[in-house]
Homo-oligomer: A and B are copies of this chain.
Amino acid sequence: MQLIQHSFCPHSRFIRLVLGEYGLTAELVDEPVWERRAEFLTLNPAATTPVLIDDGVTIVGVQPIAEYIDEKYGEAAGAMRLMPSDLAGRAEVRRLISWFNDKFFAEVSEYLVQEKILKRNLSATNGGGAPDSGAIRAARVNVGYHLGYIGWLLKSRNWLATNRITYADLAAAAHLSAADYLGDVPWNEDESAKQWYARIKSRPAFRPLLAESLPGLAPAPTYANLDF
């Protein structure tokens, strides 16, 4: 298996966590999406990561990859399957996957990754330059609202979608981890959300993410600290 990704793409991080939880190993291939390489556009004309190649099949995009992994490997995981088996549970997991991959991304992690990380790779004529402080401020306000929502969900459940860990937790944690690396998550605003994230980041599947760092941009001090 090959996962075409980049380190701070939250959608790629979600798939890496899923593969890790299932004990599946994929070669990670970093794609500089901002270069819009012709070879990559042939694989995915939308020019986005992640793309998974498995057994000669190319699966493009985060939701298709998550569904593919569930269809191909989910059943074999037995009680550790990351999707519930009942229709209502599956619908709730997918609602929350979309909440984080679409809504949280648009309101928080896309701004932060774009302004603080991707812009460093772009020339001034291609949208590079100093981070937009307005966008970063907006993302920081929005992340508090999402922590509150996570805390609210945890009032009635052990994990975000059900009483077991599912894709929903991994999607949420993947997006939060990108923001957390940058020091932009106000964990003290919601104690339940903080405890939930401490549980997730202690899992072995999380370790490779916590070990990564960007040249010239060190992680926030508590990023890899399992007890905050």
Contact = CB atoms under 8 A, between A and B. Distances in A.
Interface size class of A (residues with CB under 8 A): 20 to 34
A60 B94 CA distance: 9
B98 A61 contact: yes
Interface in A32-53: 45-46
A57 interface: yes
B95 A60 contact: yes
A102 interface: yes
Interface stretch (A14-22, A67-75, A217-225): A67-75
A192 interface: no
A193 to B, nearest CB: 16
A90 interface: yes
Contacts of A90: 64, 67-68, 71
Interface SS of A by simple majority: helix
A67 B94 contact: yes
Contacts of A228: none
Given A46-B103, A99-B46, A102-B102, A91 B68 contact: yes
Copies of this polypeptide in the complex: 2
Nearest to A68: B91
Contacts of A68: 87, 90-91
Contacts of A102: 102
A63 B149 contact: no
A192 to B, nearest CB: 17
Interface in A68-101: 68, 71-72, 87-88, 90-91, 94-95, 98-99
B87 A71 contact: yes
Given A61-B95, A64-B95, A67-B94, 7 more contacts: A46-B103, A60-B91, A61-B94, A64-B91, A67-B67, A67-B91, A68-B87
Interface of A: 45-46, 57-61, 63-65, 67-68, 71-72, 87-88, 90-91, 94-95, 98-99, 102-103, 149
